[in-house]
Structure 1
Amino acid sequence: MPLQADGDVPGLIVKFGDYPLHHGGVGAIRSLGRLGVPMYAITEDRYTPAAASRYLERAFVWPTSGTEEPEHLVEGLLRIGRRIGRPAVLVPTDEEAAVLIAEHQEALGDSFLFPRVEPELPRRLASKQGLHELCVEHGVPSPSAAFPQSYDDIVAFAEKARFPVVAKNREAFVRRARPAVNGTTRIATREGLLALARDWVGRPGDPGVILQEYLPREEAEDWIVHAYFDRDATPLAMFTGVKVRSWPPHAGMTANAYVVDNPELADLAARFVKQIGFTGIVDLDLRFDRRDGQYKLLDFNPRMGAQFRLFESESRVDVVRAMHLDLTGRAVPEGEQRAGHRYLVENIDLPALLAYRRSGYTTPHAPARASGTELAWLAGDDLRPFFTMLARFVRPGAKHLYQLWRANRRGGTTTK
């Protein structure tokens, strides 16, 4: 039986910040649009890949930085809601949007449909420190971590730490003019840490970092969980997979991944989400540490992940479709995930492949052969986003990839 969605309830892609080449937003527009759901999106301008999709009814051009006052962003959303003219399902593509929606549910509730969650929970989950504290509270493995409050704390940490260590921005989801580190940064020595830390002094939220145990990639496996949980924190769609390549290498956005059944990992994710009472779409990154046999939770994104289209059930359900079906009062059909299916992001997988081959790293936990491939940009029924991506990517994109490669050579890499 074909999957049927409520075509009277539109969807709105909500994004704050300047990142026009976002394949996840295009994937959500296509996913719901193919079911006959009218789709709208907030875009940086009229010439983004999302704005070019044949499945988009209208792009609302609203350049934002993600640093605006919440009241301004809420009023902007309400203004868009009035222009749509009927309640729409909100699909946030970044933490800023997910946190804003959760913390302003009362103001947005009459104009939009979205999972109702404890207002403070998405902010806590998106925070590196908040997530670590929740993991400790509920017995979920995560890398050991320290949260220095001053330069003296960092000096004391350096005296007893086992290097290398990893430094991340404590509130990574909050866009800043001068972040403490440029994403996930591997620090090899005590001297290197102290040299970096001198630049962290004197900034708002000083020093604003989390210092974390380094899990060596030679002894680890990168896993992904995507799921949708209903109002009772029960999973209506649950998927697991492995990350084969990312860009920048080993610590960035997924460039290539496979669907791999992992009941143990699915059970861990379901139990944790039930314990914290989260409702909605989740995108989890975990690293399996072969040294102690534990899956360690690295990131909990309280929204759809850019690579969500890797996962679809035999019933044609993905996490975005599951959310729309559930919020419009329709049953979410059960079905097994498409094991062995592959996802590939065309504009970043080639440089990632070259970097991984140069490092000699392989992914032994990935399938030897794909049962099928989903491309992030190219789709036969919706070609314009692919060519729009190429037009915007070629020159500035190549320069950006080179800058990220140089940062990775120095030991710093940028997360998704």
Structure 2
Amino acid sequence: MRRAPVAADRSVPGLIVKIGDYPLHHGGVGAIRSLGRLGVPMYAVTEDRWTPAALSRYLTAGFVWPTTGTEPAEELVAGLLGIGRRIGRPAVLVPTDEEAAVLVAEHAAELAGSFLFPPVEQGLPRRLASKQGLHELCTEHGVPTPATLFPVSFEEIEKYASVARFPVVAKNREAFERRRRPAVHGTTRIGGPRELLDLAREWGPEPGVILQEYLPREEAEDWIVHAYFDAESAPLALFTGVKVRSWPPHAGMTANAYIVDNPELAAMAEQFIKRIGFCGIIDLDWRFDRRDGQYKLLDFNPRMGAQFRMFENEAGIDVVRAQHLDLTGRKVPEGEQLTGRRFVVENIDLPALAAYRRSGYTTPHAPARASGTELAWAARDDIKPFFTMLARFVRPGVRHLRQLWRSRRRAAAAAAVEQSAEQSAR
């Protein structure tokens, strides 16, 4: 059956908003394509003129605005308002990171005249992006989550190290710390008490970390939920999927995933969103712990996820399209999710595949064959972002190999000189 085209309001543009320096972001490219293919004029904040997003054929214009995430909020709001004036008409905002989502929510009053965005409670996105805030909300509303400690001193970590069951996982307490001086880089697996204490000595008198129960991969499954909720916290698009591979392995960005129906998980996510009163796009990471049969919520991203384009229903709706339709007063078409549809991030799935094969780990519930594949970068109707990604992705790798070769060469030369001196001394 041929589906009807999605009838978007082409008079209302979209703006991809990002804070921080991460030019190789396939989620932003996916959002530009998703709305651009409907005829929606698309704009984007970019680090420079040569990012993959900046070269998409569906981008009407890019705004080069390098940021670090450490700027004062007033400066970032002023920058956004300046972009709004250059666009010249209200645009739907599509944040791609927590900093942007929090900025929009906390400065809604200043931004409302120039942009369209969900009327989320002002302080909720920041609380959800915080590991501690999320854990408190989960506890309050009865949502399972891994056992977690929020240490406030080295002495508390010492006491924990003497009784904890290792391995454990360390994460930055606040999402924004990755832009500043993070205590740990991403999710860090810690094998024993001595390793924990060695790391903790570098965290200072006020550790900005959480220490969390490790859910062993042999006894767990990684699930994801992407959805869009309207102003009444009703789901207008809700999808469930299973993560097959990530990079770095088991703890990083999704490299390969499938849409898989999971009514139980969908109901849990919907109920939680209703209770906390969230509206807008969400990207949730859950881990099913087979030891106790519970889905445990690990991360709540109050914005579009980088892999959102894997999720689409029979009516051609993804979460970005759902948001644009809803905020422009259009009906969001209903439809079953395209179960079995696969998502592949080309530049990180190959190393992830090699790592997973070495470990012998396979993902339960992943279909044997995909019903369709969405590539993160390559698209027949928009190929420039793919080649731009390759150029920017390969160059640092080549530079690193050259540096490694030169350092080894210098080391070999130094060793030869040392050996020659020893022989002369004899």
TM-score, normalised with respect to structure 1: 0.94
Is this contact kept in 2: 1:158–1:193, CA < 8 A?
yes
Counterpart check, 1:314 vs 2:317: no
Matches within 5 A, 1:208-287: 208-287=208-287
Q: What is the one-letter code of the residue matched to 1:58?
A: A
Gaps spanning 5+ residues in structure 2: where? 402-426
Q: Which residue does 1:336 correspond to in 2?
A: 336
Residue 376 of structure 1: how far off its partner (Å): 0.3
User: Residue by residue, what CA displacement relative to the aligned partner does 1:351-400 show, whole Å, maximum 9, x if unpaired?
Assistant: 00001011111112211111110000000000110111111111215778
Q: What is the one-letter code of the residue matched to 2:184?
A: V
Q: What is the one-letter code of the residue matched to 1:256?
A: N
- How far, CA to CA, are the matches of 1:155 and 1:127 in structure 2? 24
Give the counterpart of 1:28 among 18, 26, 31. Answer: 31
For the residue of structure 1 that corresponds to 2:218, the secondary structure is helix
Aligned-pair identity in percent equals 78
Q: Which residue does 2:182 correspond to in 1?
A: 179
Is this contact kept in 2: 1:219–1:289, CA < 8 A?
yes
Q: What is the one-letter code of the residue matched to 2:197?
A: L
Q: Which residue does 1:375 correspond to in 2?
A: 375
- How far, CA to CA, are the matches of 1:212 and 1:84 in structure 2? 45
Is this contact kept in 1: 2:98–2:175, CA < 8 A?
no
Residue 159 of structure 1: how far off its partner (Å): 1.6
Q: What is the one-letter code of the residue matched to 1:186?
A: R
- How far, CA to CA, are the matches of 1:341 and 1:81 in structure 2? 36
For the residue of structure 2 that corresponds to 1:291, the secondary structure is coil
Q: Which residue does 1:67 correspond to in 2?
A: 70
Residue 174 of structure 1: how far off its partner (Å): 3.6
Matches within 5 A, 1:16-415: 16-202=19-205, 206-397=206-397
- How far, CA to CA, are the matches of 2:190 and 2:145 in structure 1? 19
- How far, CA to CA, are the matches of 2:335 and 2:167 in structure 1? 43
Runs of 4+ in 1 over 4 A off after TM superposition: 397-401
Is this contact kept in 1: 2:102–2:125, CA < 8 A?
yes
Is this contact kept in 2: 1:67–1:175, CA < 8 A?
no
- How far, CA to CA, are the matches of 2:375 and 2:70 in structure 1? 32
- How far, CA to CA, are the matches of 1:313 and 1:16 in structure 2? 30
Cα distance change, pair 81–353 in 1 and its aligned pair in 2 (3 A): same
- How far, CA to CA, are the matches of 1:5 and 1:400 in structure 2? 45
Q: What is the one-letter code of the residue matched to 2:71?
A: E
TM-score, normalised with respect to structure 2: 0.92
Q: CA RMSD in A?
A: 1.1
Residue 175 of structure 1: how far off its partner (Å): 3.5
Residue 178 of structure 1: how far off its partner (Å): 2.2
Cα distance change, pair 364–138 in 1 and its aligned pair in 2 (3 A): same
User: Residue by residue, what CA displacement relative to the aligned partner does 1:74-101 show, whole Å, maximum 9, x if unpaired?
Assistant: 0000000000000000000000000000
Q: Which residue does 1:11 correspond to in 2?
A: 14
- How far, CA to CA, are the matches of 1:152 and 1:296 in structure 2? 29
For the residue of structure 1 that corresponds to 2:348, the secondary structure is helix
For the residue of structure 2 that corresponds to 1:16, the secondary structure is coil
- How far, CA to CA, are the matches of 2:49 and 2:117 in structure 1? 26
Is this contact kept in 1: 2:20–2:179, CA < 8 A?
no
Residue 168 of structure 1: how far off its partner (Å): 0.4
Is this contact kept in 2: 1:143–1:298, CA < 8 A?
yes
- How far, CA to CA, are the matches of 2:265 and 2:326 in structure 1? 24
Q: What is the one-letter code of the residue matched to 1:305?
A: G
User: Residue by residue, what CA displacement relative to the aligned partner does 1:119-176 show, whole Å, maximum 9, x if unpaired?
Assistant: 1000000000000000000000000100000101111111211111100000023434
- How far, CA to CA, are the matches of 1:155 and 1:173 in structure 2? 26
User: Residue by residue, what CA displacement relative to the aligned partner does 1:33-80 show, whole Å, maximum 9, x if unpaired?
Assistant: 000000000000000000000000000000000111000000000000
For the residue of structure 2 that corresponds to 1:54, the secondary structure is coil
For the residue of structure 2 that corresponds to 1:241, the secondary structure is strand
Cα distance change, pair 288–147 in 1 and its aligned pair in 2 (3 A): same
- How far, CA to CA, are the matches of 1:216 and 1:155 in structure 2? 23
For these two proteins, the number of residue pairs brought into alignment is: 398
- How far, CA to CA, are the matches of 1:399 and 1:342 in structure 2? 33
- How far, CA to CA, are the matches of 1:127 and 1:399 in structure 2? 35
- How far, CA to CA, are the matches of 2:186 and 2:400 in structure 1? 15
Gaps spanning 5+ residues in structure 1: where? 402-416
For the residue of structure 2 that corresponds to 1:258, the secondary structure is strand
User: Residue by residue, what CA displacement relative to the aligned partner does 1:299-326 show, whole Å, maximum 9, x if unpaired?
Assistant: 0000000000000000000000000000
For the residue of structure 2 that corresponds to 1:373, the secondary structure is strand
For the residue of structure 1 that corresponds to 2:175, the secondary structure is coil
- How far, CA to CA, are the matches of 1:72 and 1:175 in structure 2? 20
- How far, CA to CA, are the matches of 2:208 and 2:380 in structure 1? 45
Cα distance change, pair 398–328 in 1 and its aligned pair in 2 (3 A): farther
- How far, CA to CA, are the matches of 1:115 and 1:347 in structure 2? 33
For the residue of structure 1 that corresponds to 2:201, the secondary structure is helix
Cα distance change, pair 306–197 in 1 and its aligned pair in 2 (3 A): same
- How far, CA to CA, are the matches of 1:354 and 1:250 in structure 2? 13
User: Residue by residue, what CA displacement relative to the aligned partner does 1:151-208 show, whole Å, maximum 9, x if unpaired?
Assistant: 0111111121111110000002343432101110111101111111000015xxx210
